[in-house]
Amino acid sequence: MMDWLWYTSYFLVLIGLSGYGFHRLMILTLYLKHSRNQPEPLRKFDELPLVTVQLPCFNEMHVMERLLDSVSAMDYPKDKLQIQVLDDSTDETTAICKAEVAKLIDRGFDAMHVHRTDRTGYKAGALENGTESAKGEYLFILDADFVPNADVLKKTIHYFTDEKIGMIQTRWEHINRTFNALTRVQAMFLDGHLELEQTARNRSGRFFTFNGTAGIWRKSCIADAGGWEHDTLTEDMDLSYRAQLKGWKFIFLNNVTTPAELPVDMEGFKSQQHRWTKGSIQVCKKILLDIWKSKAPIFCKMEATAHLTSNFAYLLLFLLCFLIYPKQHSEIGWLAENGISEHLLNFPIFFFGSVSVAMFYIMSQKALRPGTWLKDILYLPLLLALGIGMSVNNAKAVMEALFNHETSFVRTPKHGINGSEKQEKAAFKKSRYKAIKSLTPFVELAFGIFFTVVVVDNVLNANYVAAVLLLPFPAGFFYTSISSLAQQLPSVFASRATEKVSKK
């Protein structure tokens, strides 16, 4: 009876993971079918409209000067540009912002510094507050770690000649892609999402979402959709679905890029992923029923469901970690007698969990980096391992969202990294901004040890195929745990040393 219980649970988890793997292949198919259908503006504005550039920030002392320099260098008439620094900072960032805004005003820019001491709504609250005084009908939103290209507004603004267009999203590029192995893998993750997913969804007529930055909104679209709301951690996704349910159209321009800085440390990456994962499940709970009640085509509803529930895959992956080992030692009726249980149960996780992922990211690198994609995909094994290793962190986020556990909006530390390798590493070491520490790495370390035992056990029992398929599990958990602990332990030792010195 216990064997049947374990195998049934194992099978159900595999079916769920296989479903999300199949969805990834569907996205790839849609991309291949529609990627060449580049959108074109209906016409060009006779006179360029006024654009408000909104720069929400919180404790971003390392990157504000770079951000404002790049914004002021954009190729757009000064008299058609308003710059809002929406500052919720509690450190030196506020003084830096004031000084930089003063310089912009002296240079003839219409710039303003809006400082809040009450962080109600976090980023959504700052944007909501800034929109009240925004002069432009079009709002270009940039996070502090972005460095917009000079021609970004002129390449995008004319699409708004179509009165049905509510938002235009540009594709992110990565200024510190080669900083370390983690940034290389993150770049591949984001390339897959932005190039394949966003392009496929948008060009095939499905819902797609604003990525929180590097996009331009029509102000009347925001108002019509109900404005910025801050009951989820992903206000961008929430507003996007509400606007599209109101009938507004969005455009994704994969050929227009906006460079940005990637998190360079594991704890910063985990913090970002936790926020995105939890926020997407919160939006799922909030908006999915409205999507199914809407008049949208069934294929749009199905894709939105897969999109909004996709992070449940981390919860399934986490559950799989508890089901794998008992499965290895169970025998069940005719399946075991005919010697096909191992192949029948392992093939779906291998194909849909690994092969589909590999195909997905190979295609994105080949599309975006034709000259170096063969070199880039050498990081695929690490990408697969990292996806598994993040299951503890992201499953925790899913559970928090499901049980309405409230947490604050935790910013991702940015360090102003964009110089030479030597300068970059020096900038990171000097940075005072560090991610919040947690006990998650110790749980990941325990899983790493556990799966090492499982792999060794399979080798000793001559289950070599299973051992190979399971190798990404210990590799992923050791990578995420040791990378985090390497950050945490030096600071612990340093604080203890400081205490000893102070006592002396």
- pLDDT tens digit sequence for 176-228: 999 999 999 999 999 999 999 999 999 999 999 999 999 999 999 999 999 99
Residue 461, domain member (yes or no): no
pLDDT tens-digit readout, 235-261: 999 999 999 999 999 999 999 999 999
Which residues have CB under 8 Å from 121's CB, separation 6+? 128, 228, 230
Residue 318, domain member (yes or no): yes
pLDDT the model gives residue 333: 46
Please return the burial class of 348, using the count of CB atoms within 10 Å of its CB with bins 0-12, 13-18 and 19+: middle
- Based on the residue annotation, tell me whether 91 is a catalytic residue of this protein: no
What 8-state DSSP symbol labels residue 47?
A: S
Residue in 88, 191, 238, 376 annotated catalytic: 88
Residue 427, domain member (yes or no): no
Q: Decide if 324 contacts 454 (C-beta within 8 A).
A: yes
Residue 449, domain member (yes or no): no
pTM of the model as a whole: 0.90
- Based on the residue annotation, tell me whether 88 is a catalytic residue of this protein: yes
Buried b (16+ CB within 10 A) or exposed e, 288-301: beebeebebeeebb
Domain count, the chain: 1
Q: One-letter amino acid identity for 78?
A: K
How many CB atoms are closer than 10 A to CB 445? 17
pLDDT the model gives residue 502: 41
**pLDDT beneath 50: ranges in the chain:** 329, 331-334, 338, 419-420, 423, 492-504
Residue 289, domain member (yes or no): yes
pLDDT the model gives residue 303: 97
Spatial distance between the Cα atoms of 368 and 181, rounded to a whole number of angstroms: 19
pLDDT the model gives residue 437: 66
pLDDT the model gives residue 80: 97
Residue in 145, 191, 236, 265 annotated catalytic: 236
Q: Which helix (H) or strand (E) holds 117?
A: none
pLDDT the model gives residue 412: 72
DSSP string, 356-395: HHHHHHHHHHHHH-TTTHHHHGGGHHHHHHHHHHTHHHHH
Spatial distance between the Cα atoms of 477 and 451, rounded to a whole number of angstroms: 9
Query: What is the crossing angle of helices 266-293 and 298-309, to 10°?
Result: 150
Half-sphere exposure of 132 (CA within 13 A, CB side): 7
pLDDT the model gives residue 503: 45
Q: Which domain holds residue 29?
A: 1-41+163-217+230-420
Residue 154, domain member (yes or no): no
Residue 467, domain member (yes or no): no
